[in-house]
Amino acid sequence: MTKRVSEKKETKASIEKKSIANELKNNGSNNSLLSKEEFVKALRLMILARSIDNKAMNLLKQGKSFFHIAGSGHEGVQVAIGMQINPQVDWLFPYYRDMALSLSVGMTPTDFFLACFAKASDPACGGRQLPCHWGMKRTSNFPTQSSPTGTQFLQAVGTALASVRNGIKNISYVSSGEGTTSQGEFHEAVNWASREKLPVLFHIQNNKYAISVPVWQQSGGEGNSIAEMMKGYGNLLRLKIDGTDFIQSYQAAKEAIDYIKNGNGPVLIESDVVRLLSHSSSDDQKKYRVDSEIQDDIKRDPIKKLSEKLISENILTMEEIEELKNSVADEIDKSVDYAFAQASPEASTADKYVFDESGLSKTFDYEKSEPTGKSIVMVDAINHALHEELEENPKIYIFGEDIADGKGGVFTATKGLSTKFGRERVFNSPLAEASIMGVATGMALAGLRPVVEIQFGDYIWPAFMQMKDELATFRYRSNNEWFTPLVTRVAVGGYIHGGLYHSQNIESIFAHVPGIYIAYPSNAADAKGLLKTAMRLNDPVLFCEHKGLYRQSYAMSPEPDNEYLIPFGKAKIVKEGKDLTVVSYGASMWDSVFAAKKLADEGYSIEVIDLRTIIPLDEETIFNSVKKTNKVVIIHEDTLTGGFGAEIAARISDSCFQYLDAPIKRIAAKDAHIPYAPVLEYAVLPSREVIYQGIKDLLKY
């Protein structure tokens, strides 16, 4: 029985079950639920999905594929919803069991088997992902899906927010099993969508098992219900339905979509479905489920139920249904034969599309003028860059914690922006870093250019899953069909007596994530030029801002004009020299400059290189300098072990070993957390004296 719960009315009403015969009396009129042809289409889609499941498992046993995850038992509600969704208008973020839904919105059996056999022409990913990671090319709003459970919810919210900001009337569909609702990002997504009345259709397909863990060990909702668990959201319509009943599911989906499109807010449908096969081809549910339970599920088979209904209502005969099955079998056999014969990906393409390869960045006019404006501090240069790009590009949206006026950010980097550009474009986010990143990723998929602020690098880790597994992978995993131009500004670094949780450097960890550029400016002009470039690129950028340099006098510089751009991957020789090379960035670069000046008084000539960007790394400038000076010290504020300096040292060793007259030296923080007391902080972080002495020791080698 469908249950509708309204928090405002505190009532439960049911959607009346109508006979198919009654629905067909006015065939073709506005009063009919579905025509006979549409019921036949629905049944065929359900049979098609089931048959693909069976075929895929047989192919796996034959050694022709490697993995499959079935949706058998979920087909009824998926087709009911899919038939009412337009992938050219609505956004889709399904999960791995949504085979029938994907077929309903345009995926073909051939598409599936191209993925099954990991062929180059697989439209979802070109053979880069496991099968059952649905997606279609950018002609539809169906981005290629990923494996982590629950990350898609926030992206759906992001696309819905983009639709609202752009004045587009559509919905964002997102689904998962009941187990995934244990993830915090699911709750964050429902909170954001409900608070802002966003057009999101949350579909929870409750088959009672998250692999082997039953729902009663997952959900704290009344009766282990997900819909009951989500009580309290005033704008959220919650429907609990029998997802094995196609008619009831179709009616519920229609009500949900009408509710959303009338601007009332999001809807959560909890579908009571059955899992007729094991979790995946790597699982055996007989190890943890009793046979009687499995047999009870088989009795609720949605295909069986709809077929019997159509026959009892004299809509179809058994013979016609058999003809449908035969037609499906023929289509699948042809699709398998065609897909299997297609070409596999070329090995030479394995590392393509980690970043944009369109050549866009080469079209920018870099450093076309010298900064000649009034000397400003770094935080103001960042503020001005944001202001200018907001004015230049209406697709840019800025949000994060406390970034709107009157606060204007904890370091005032966004001061005045919401006043000038309005709370639609510059706004406060919930206090949830994963939400910030996931929603921004969705907005980027929808064609906007979000710039988000994470207050401190120490608190970016709740967003790490979104950044590493989602944001960074979209271009690669979709074979260049989808991309996410998103800038993440984050305050990093110590020397401010911030203690363990306001002093961290994060660049070395993110440098290990393919698909994210990393900028780390050391002065006002570079900060402005790099940030403006970041906001124009078609790739994600992590923009590290050392808070100890925000208002530091020696990090001031004349302000560049509003067209001043600095290329990523171009280091700067801050001080020329011939006796030794220092490679550094951020606050440590300045300490290196001061040490070099002191050593100059002692007769030494030190060359200091400011990397400016970590990814991409300017190897050419580094190698040329090392070949000239024959000695090199790499200095950074992050810990010694695993710090990015180790990567630089390894590359120098590979390419410049024959030019070295001394070992490559690294100066960095101790392998410890950063304490609060100044005397302890200075003992952990690389001090000016330590840097000076370290350089001098290598000079004497």
Q: Catalytic site residue 502? A: yes
Pairing assessment for the beta strands 209-210 and 213-214 based on DSSP bridges: antiparallel
Residue 684 CA to residue 504 CA, distance in Å, equals 12
Are 592 and 608 in contact, with CB atoms under 8 Å apart?
A: yes
Pairing assessment for the beta strands 426-428 and 375-376 based on DSSP bridges: unpaired
Torsion, CA 231, CA 232, CA 236, CA 242, rounded to 10 = 10
Give the list of residues 6+ apart from residue 52 with CB closer than 8 angstroms, or none: 99, 103, 109, 112, 332
Q: Angle, nearest 10°, between helix axes 75-82 and 36-61? A: 130
Q: Which amino acid is at 428?
A: N
Q: How many other β-carbons are positioned within 10 Å of the β-carbon of residue 686?
A: 25
SS3 230: coil
Longest Cα pair distance anywhere in the chain, in angstroms? 100
Residue 629 CA to residue 582 CA, distance in Å, equals 10
CA distances from 273 to 77, 78, 199, 306, 431 (A): 8, 10, 24, 14, 35
Residue 253 CA to residue 247 CA, distance in Å, equals 10
What one-character-per-residue DSSP string does 453-498 give?
Answer: EES-GGG-GGGHHIIIIIITTHHHHTTTS-----EEEEEE--SSS-
Q: Among 68, 203, 279, 502, which one carries the catalytic annotation?
A: 502
Are 586 and 493 in contact, with CB atoms under 8 Å apart?
A: yes
Long-range contacts of 29-38 (CB under 8 A, 24+ apart): 33/247, 33/250, 33/251, 34/250, 36/315, 38/83
Pairing assessment for the beta strands 613-615 and 517-519 based on DSSP bridges: antiparallel
Strand extents, DSSP E, 104-196: 172-177
Are 676 and 646 in contact, with CB atoms under 8 Å apart?
A: no
Query: How crowded is the C-beta side of 621, counted as CA atoms within 13 Å?
Result: 21
The sign one gets for the Cα dihedral 377, 380, 382, 388 is negative
Residue 101 CA to residue 83 CA, distance in Å, equals 8
Q: Angle, nearest 10°, between helix axes 152-166 and 184-195? A: 20
Residue 456 CA to residue 463 CA, distance in Å, equals 12
Residue 202 CA to residue 611 CA, distance in Å, equals 45
Are 494 and 503 in contact, with CB atoms under 8 Å apart?
A: yes
Are 72 and 277 in contact, with CB atoms under 8 Å apart?
A: yes
What one-character-per-residue DSSP string does 351-371 give?
Answer: TTTSS--SSGGGGS-TT-S--
Q: Which amino acid is at 287?
A: K
Where helices occur in 232-290 by DSSP H, the ranges are 246-261
CA distances from 614 to 408, 508, 611, 687 (A): 28, 9, 7, 22
Residue 302 CA to residue 197 CA, distance in Å, equals 32
Query: How far is Cα of residue 333 from the mean position of the Cα atoms in its chain?
Result: 36
Instruction: Tell me the catalytic residues.
Output: 502
